[in-house]
């Protein structure tokens, strides 16, 4: 073979050698029905109704869960579980998935029929009111202007953000049939629908609106609170009937004394309340009355 051919062959082999095919071994993870390290703690679930999107809710309420975990570890481990919408939350609540939960006042009442007991409520009832947002450029919009126009609400059972604003509109002149309610799943979604002009107005309540103003001030400036409802009893704190008295006592004790320590106060400040208070079914009697009136006006939920 001439020298040129030898060199050519050598170069080709070098090139091929540089990109030699891979060896056959390929890693695959293996799975088993039991964890590699056996669980030694009992997990308890803590849920909050979707008054924020899941991430925001986690940011606000996980510090409380962390604090509780510090006190109940290693016997128990509390995990915060969010829900993307009211319907999901209510399904889980109805299924008895959570050991502890903070439903809205209406769900608090409903939870009693699903094996939960009311042990407390959020303070700052004055903040538990509905607000109706409109675009700032729509001016002094009269309620009559909402007649037949789409209005966004988070979910049918959102007491402050849906039920109370709907009742407000009805009490101020709109017939039930004139209210074109659009349920958009979450508080933020209700706000964004107004912002984007998909709905003429949107129902929500102060904490998510303030959070929106804080996170998206440029957008928030395009909106304004046009109407506010009267306040009602704030969200409840319920515990599943099967949870031991000791655990319930320990956890409720932590929650009701949050406002007494700096760390606790920072936790409840993030929740935009001043404290948690012990409560019972009787505490929510005004809510029960409101719901009755509401259902009488708008009909029972299916």
Shortest distance (Å) from residue 278 CB to other proteins:
28
How far is 230 from 225, CA to CA, in rounded Å?
14
> Considering beta carbons, is residue 84 or 257 the nearer one to other proteins?
84
**Contact (CB, 8 A) for 162 and 156:** yes
With CB under 8 A as the contact rule, which of the stretches 83-91, 133-141, 192-200, 271-279 interacts with other proteins?
83-91
Q: How far is the CB of 69 from other proteins (least distance, A)?
A: 11
Return the H-helix or E-strand segment holding 177: none
> Edge to edge, what strands does the sheet with 276-278 contain?
76-81, 42-48, 100-102, 236-240, 116-122, 276-278
Distance, in Å, from the CA atom of 130 to the CA atom of 161, rounded to the nearest integer, reads: 5
Please tell me whether residue 31 binds other proteins under the rule CB under 8 A.
yes
Binding flag, residue 96, other proteins (CB under 8 A): no
How many residues lie near other proteins (CB under 8 A)? 43
What do you get for the CA distance between the two ends of the chain, in Å? 90
Measured distance CA(271)–CA(122) in Å, rounded? 9
Q: Any contact of residue 26 with other proteins (CB under 8 A)?
A: yes
Name the nearest CA neighbour of 98 among 237, 219, 277.
237
Please identify, among the stretches 30-38, 206-214, 247-255, 278-286, the one whose residues bind other proteins according to the rule CB under 8 A: 30-38
| Greatest alpha-carbon span in the chain | 104
Shortest Å, Cβ 141 to other proteins = 33
Report if residue 33 touches other proteins, rule: CB under 8 A.
Answer: yes
The window from 53-61, 217-225, 252-260, 272-280 that contacts other proteins (CB under 8 A) reads 53-61
β-bridge mates for residue 122, sequence order: 276
Q: How far apart are CA 46 and CA 79, in angstroms?
A: 6
Q: Give the dihedral of Cα atoms 242, 283, 168, 184; nearest 10 deg.
A: -20
Q: If binding is defined by CB under 8 A, does position 37 make contact with other proteins?
A: yes
Stretch that binds other proteins, among 22-30, 161-169, 209-217, 260-268 (CB under 8 A): 22-30
- The binder of other proteins chosen from 1, 34, 218, 260 (CB under 8 A): 34
Q: Which is closer to other proteins, CB of 25 or CB of 218? A: 25
Q: Which stretch binds other proteins (CB under 8 A): 57-65, 174-182, 261-269, 290-298?
A: 57-65
Q: Which of 1, 15, 177, 218 binds other proteins (CB under 8 A)?
A: 15
Binding flag, residue 157, other proteins (CB under 8 A): no
Of 60 and 232, the one with the shorter C-beta distance to other proteins is: 60
Length of the chain: 302
HEC secondary structure over 34-103:
CCCCCCCCEEEEEEECCCCCHHHHHHHHHHHHHHHHHHHCCCEEEEEECCCCHHHHHHHHHCCCCCEEEC
Binding site for other proteins (CB under 8 A): 3-4, 7-8, 11-12, 14-16, 18-19, 21-27, 29-37, 39, 53-55, 57-59, 62-63, 66, 80-84, 88
């Amino acid at each position: 073979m001439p020298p040129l051919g030898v060199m050519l062959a050598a170069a080709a082999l070098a090139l091929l050698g540089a990109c030699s095919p891979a060896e056959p071994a390929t890693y695959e993870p293996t799975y088993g029905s039991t964890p590699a390290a056996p669980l030694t703690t009992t997990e308890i679930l803590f849920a909050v109704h979707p008054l924020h999107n899941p991430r925001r809710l986690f940011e606000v309420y996980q510090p409380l869960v962390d604090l509780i975990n510090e006190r109940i570890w290693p016997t128990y481990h509390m995990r915060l579980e969010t829900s993307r919408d009211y319907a999901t939350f209510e399904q889980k609540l109805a299924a008895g998935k959570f050991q502890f939960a903070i439903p809205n006042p209406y769900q608090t009442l409903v939870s009693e029929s699903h094996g939960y007991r009311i042990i407390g409520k959020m303070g700052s009832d004055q903040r538990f009111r509905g607000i109706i947002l409109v675009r700032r450029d729509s001016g002094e919009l009269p309620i009559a202007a909402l007649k037949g126009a789409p209005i966004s609400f988070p979910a049918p059972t959102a007491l402050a953000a849906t039920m109370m604003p709907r009742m407000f509109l009805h009490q101020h002149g709109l017939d039930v049939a004139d209210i074109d309610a659009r349920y958009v799943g979450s508080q933020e979604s209700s706000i964004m629908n107004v912002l984007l002009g998909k709905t003429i107005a949107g129902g929500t309540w102060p904490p998510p609106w303030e959070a929106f103003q804080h996170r998206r001030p440029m957008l928030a400036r395009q909106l304004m609170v046009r109407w506010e409802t009267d306040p009602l009893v704030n969200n409840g704190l319920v515990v599943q009937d099967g949870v031991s008295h000791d655990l319930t006592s320990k956890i409720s004790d932590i929650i009701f004394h949050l406002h007494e320590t700096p760390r606790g106060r920072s936790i409840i400040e993030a929740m935009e309340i001043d404290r948690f208070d012990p409560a019972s079914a009787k505490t929510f009697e005004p809510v029960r009355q409101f719901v009755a009136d509401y259902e009488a006006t708008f009909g029972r939920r299916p």
